[in-house]
Structure 1
Amino acid sequence: MNPWTDLGLVDLGDTLLDRQIIGEDGTVVGKVDDLELRTEDGRWIVDALLVGPEALADRLGGPIGRLLHHVGRGFRTQAPQRIPMTAIRRIEPTIVVTTAVAQATTSPSEDWLRRRVIGRIPGAGRASR
Structure 2
Amino acid sequence: MNPWTDLGRIDLGDALLDRQIVGEDGTVVGKVDDLELRAEDGRYVVDALLVGPEALADRLGGPIGRLLHHIGRGFRARAPQRIPMNAIRRIEPTIVVTTAIAHATGSPSEDWLRRRVIGRIPGAGRASR
Q: TM-score range by the shorter chain?
A: over 0.9
1:35–1:124 Cα change, 3 Å = same
The 2-side partners of 1:78 and 1:67 are apart by: 16
The 2-side partners of 1:107 and 1:95 are apart by: 15
Which consecutive residues of structure 2, in runs of 5 or more, have no partner in the other structure? Answer: none
Work out whether 1:91 is the aligned partner of 2:84: no
The CA deviation at 1:127 is 3.1
Task: Indicate the residue corresponding to 1:68 in structure 2.
Answer: 68
The CA deviation at 1:41 is 1.0
Task: Indicate the residue corresponding to 1:2 in structure 2.
Answer: 2
Across the aligned residues of Structure 1 and Structure 2, the Cα RMSD in angstroms comes to 1.3
> Which letter maps to 1:68?
L
Q: Does structure 1 conserve the Cα–Cα contact (< 8 Å) formed by 2:52 and 2:77?
A: no
The CA deviation at 1:75 is 1.7
Count of residue correspondences: 129
The CA deviation at 1:77 is 4.7
> Which letter maps to 1:118?
I
Task: Indicate the residue corresponding to 1:31 in structure 2.
Answer: 31
1:40–1:2 Cα change, 3 Å = closer
Task: Indicate the residue corresponding to 2:79 in structure 1.
Answer: 79
Task: Indicate the residue corresponding to 1:51 in structure 2.
Answer: 51
The 1-side partners of 2:64 and 2:10 are apart by: 28
Which consecutive residues of structure 1, in runs of 5 or more, have no partner in the other structure? Answer: none
Task: Indicate the residue corresponding to 1:111 in structure 2.
Answer: 111
